[in-house]
Structure 1
Amino acid sequence: MLRFEDYAPVRSMNARRRQRNFSGLWWCASTGRLVGYESWLERDHLMCLDFAADVTGIAAQPFRLDFPDLPGGPCRHVPDYFARLSNGAAVVIDVRPDARIGGRDREVFSATESACASVGWVYRRVGELPKVYTANLRWLAGYRHPRCLNAVHAAALLEALGSGSTIGALAAGAGDPVAVLPTLYHLLWTGALRAGLQGTALSPGTRIGPGAAGG
């Protein structure tokens, strides 16, 4: 039997001319699969799921829920994402900015949360992401593919890593920065290296240290 993270979307996510939202496919480095999104905000949350160390499976539009007895009338709802965690737990996610949530939406999201709780799943309704964090993650995502990893450069970076390392100094200490930086950014994506992504934009002066994945 297929797990939810392995199912195809229950409805199509087609792009068409003059539509107001932007649909597309995101290649997930964590699973090696393409996963769909229907807005830039959905794409950014999908990117965050792909970056999360404890996420092992992701599916878009994973199933449909029928709610025949809601106070506002019957409805059907398809959550945006289903994520499987490394401990086996499941997370169902709806992506909607706070400013776009009305009374009917709250009713449907509450019913979805109750349905998920009844089978032991976590439910999250997520909205806007921090701008600096998102921008930094978008940059690192450009280096998420394994082709960006050079084993020789990776070994040199990890050997040169010190307590006061910055991105610029570490790259220069490991070789030609132009050649080394793709591997450095890939290691930041995979968690072998760590840098603060919340406060300021990544730069040559960003301090960097060992990540959990790098021991």
Structure 2
Amino acid sequence: MRVLFTRDGRTGYARRLEEISLADLVFCHPTRDFSRRHGQINKPVAFFSRTVGDLVACESQHERRFLILADWNLDVIHIAAQPFTIEFPTGHELKSHTPDFVLITRNGGVVVVDVKRPSAVGSEEVLQRHAAVHQFLAQAGMQHASWSDIPHSITSNLALFASARAPEAALAQIGPEVLEAARSGARVHEVVSHVADLLQVPAPLVLVVVRRLLWNHKLAIDLRQPFGMETTLL
């Protein structure tokens, strides 16, 4: 079996399973085109990943929701979309398979992820395909996982936090005061009002810093509940 890679989207190269290196996974370019046509239900989007420091392509909003979760995970140090295509040998039940994402973890582990909608994840075809992919990747010490869903409130909150763009100078000035005021049980509006009055800075800027600190795991809330000014900090 061969694993096909490309680094520029135009020219490709092949690796045997045992030859794949972390460099192949880090510098890979998506091996499949992201189509966009009239009437298409799932349309490609891109998400700016703090982990990668660049845009990562997604074939759908559903894939973007998974990507947000992966980007927020502190154990993930690299994310790549459609990183390679597995070519199965002649006569195999599968001809080829291109996974949706590959994650590289802080300890050097590799997790290959296929994203499916809940309505499809339990189908016989998907189960058989993923079983074959899992068995193949395990030979190289790679994990294979299938992700289908999580409550929308969680990914909506994380998307809001990910979009917080606080200038570093403002984060350095306001961040410590927010953390000082954000005792367990305090509501967001209480923290924002207190810090804005204390430092004589605009309340909307303080709120952006709060969102940034939530993305950075410095503050915590119940992600199952929509974020707002009445949200309680944990």
Task: Give the distance between the partners of 1:140 and 1:24, measured in 2 at CA.
Answer: 18
Show the counterpart of 2:45. 24
What secondary structure does 2:78 align onto? strand
Instruction: Specify whether residues 154 and 91 from structure 1 end up closer, same or farther in structure 2 by C-alpha distance, changes over 3 A only.
Output: same
Show the counterpart of 2:148. 127
| Letter of the 1:187 counterpart | L
Instruction: Give the alignment of 1:92-131 within 5 angstroms.
Output: 92-101=112-121, 102-131=123-152
Q: Is 1:165 aligned to 2:186, yes or no?
A: yes
Q: Which segment is superposed worse, 126-135 or 37-46?
A: 126-135
Q: Which segment is superposed worse, 173-182 or 80-89?
A: 173-182
Report the CA distance between 1:146 and its aligned residue: 5.5
Task: Note the aligned Cα RMSD (angstroms).
Answer: 1.9
Instruction: Give the alignment of 1:36-75 within 5 angstroms.
Output: 36-68=57-89, 69-70=91-92, 73-75=93-95
TM superposition score normalised by structure 1? 0.87
TM superposition score normalised by structure 2? 0.81
Whether the aligned pair in 2 keeps the contact of 1:59 and 1:83 (CA below 8 Å) is yes
Deviations 1:3-61 (A, max 9, x none): 40331111221433332211021110122011110011001001111111111100000
What secondary structure does 1:11 align onto? coil
Deviations 1:69-127 (A, max 9, x none): 44xx3321000000011111111000011312432222111111112221112211111
Task: Give the distance between the partners of 2:87 and 2:24, measured in 1 at CA.
Answer: 20
What secondary structure does 1:208 align onto? coil
Q: Is 1:179 aligned to 2:205, yes or no?
A: yes
Show the counterpart of 2:222. 196
Instruction: Give the alignment of 1:127-166 within 5 angstroms.
Output: 127-143=148-164, 145=165, 147=167, 150-166=171-187
Task: Give the distance between the partners of 1:141 and 1:16, measured in 2 at CA.
Answer: 29
Task: Give the distance between the partners of 2:229 and 2:115, measured in 1 at CA.
Answer: 33
Choose which of 67, 70, 91 in structure 1 pairs with 2:111: 91
Instruction: Specify whether residues 77 and 171 from structure 1 end up closer, same or farther in structure 2 by C-alpha distance, changes over 3 A only.
Output: same
**Any gaps of 5 or more consecutive residues in structure 1?**
210-215
**Any gaps of 5 or more consecutive residues in structure 2?**
1-20, 197-201
After TM superposition, which residue ranges in structure 1, 4 or more long, deviate above 3 angstroms? Answer: 145-149
Amino-acid identity (%): 27
Task: Give the distance between the partners of 1:174 and 1:135, measured in 2 at CA.
Answer: 26
Q: Which segment is superposed worse, 179-188 or 160-169?
A: 160-169
Q: How many correspondences in the alignment?
A: 205
Report the CA distance between 1:197 and its aligned residue: 0.4
| Letter of the 2:214 counterpart | L
